[in-house]
Amino acid sequence: MLGYLVQRLAQAVIVVFAMSIIVFVGVYAIGNPIDVLIDPGATQEIRAKLIAQYGLDQPLWRQYLTFLGNVVHGDMGTSMVYNIPVVDLVFSRLPATLELVFVSVCIATFIGIPAGLYAGYRPDSVAAKAIMALSVLGFSVPTFWIGMLLIMTFAVNLGILPSGGRGDVGSFLGIPTSLATADGWSHVIMPALNLSLFKMGLMIRLTRAGMVEAMRTDYVRFARAQGLTDRQIVFSHVLRNISIPIVTVFGLELGSTLAFAVVTESVFTWPGVGKLIIDSILQLDRPVMVTYLVLVVILFVLINLTVDLIYARLDPRVRLKGGA
């Protein structure tokens, strides 16, 4: 196991390094932030001074080496727009995104998996067909359209939920979070539901497909012959055997939800990292864009490593290289 971990960590470092080059070159090729930061009527002297201040007068390779050297020392740069360290800026917005992702993933998991199990256990029932029809909607309808529909229904017409914002922030175990207040929950429920629909539909269809296939296998027949109830068979045997693809998708969707909650945060004006990256793109705030994308790469690498380790726990047939 230790050898496997060392190997995967070495691969992770190489991947992050390669992606940092791609991200850096891509971001620094889309435009000049000086055109956004200063007044078009500024003198050439002021313009040149600002360009030199941010090091934009250096060749691209030198800018990247400077960036890499700063990263080694824990410095991801300073925001050109907010004029504060990028790490402080990103982590000040991260709790809001984590709250949104946590609630949306809980909704997708605790509704999607049981619904998929039922749809696979009773595939010909009316309820199962209705569940599968709803899962198709989660795939087909654009996220921004569902978000606006939710706002129109619950905020404008019914007036029972706020249309945007994070709400009041309380404290839970010393951690500031809006999930500790009733007002915070009223603000998070609509964006979380909107963000969870695609994941929920994916969980339903994946669980249902695994359930249908597993119920036809010999070990289910043997379990029934031993007198086990269907509940015992499903939760003790079937769910464990179909869990690997579910865990895989769960891990990837968790990463994508954290990284790309941009649309939902923009629609509901949720003050998270997604909203920050949209504003940074519009203002060409290069340090924020580079930091965000590099953190996304690190996030996906760590999630993939975690999923691989969970595999061995769920299925003894999986042998990790370097393990016992």
Q: Could you tell me the residue ranges of all domains in the chain?
A: 86-282
Q: How far apart are CA 203 and CA 131, in angstroms?
A: 12
What pLDDT was estimated at residue 266?
86
CATH of domain 86-282: 1.10.3720.10
This prediction has a pTM of: 0.78
What pLDDT was estimated at residue 323?
47
Q: Read off the pLDDT of residues 281-323 as tens digits, 9 standing for 90 and up.
A: 887 788 888 888 888 888 878 877 777 777 666 665 655 444 4
Q: Which residues contact 304 (CB under 8 A, 6 or more apart)?
A: 251
Q: How many angstroms separate the Cα of 282 from the Cα of each of 108, 150, 176?
A: 31, 26, 29
Mean pLDDT of 15-26: 81
Question: Taking Cα atoms as reference points, which of 271, 267, 289 lies closest to residue 280?
Answer: 289
**pLDDT above 70 for 324:** no
Mean pLDDT of 188-214: 89
Percentage of residues in the chain having pLDDT higher than 70: 90
**pLDDT above 80 for 222:** yes
User: 207 or 229: which carries more pLDDT confidence?
Assistant: 207
Q: How far apart are CA 199 and CA 187, in angstroms?
A: 20
Query: 3-class secondary structure for 129-174?
Result: HHHHHHHHHHHHCCHHHHHHHHHHHHHHHCCCCCCCCCCCCEEECC
Return the SS3 of 319.
Answer: coil
8-state DSSP, 85? B
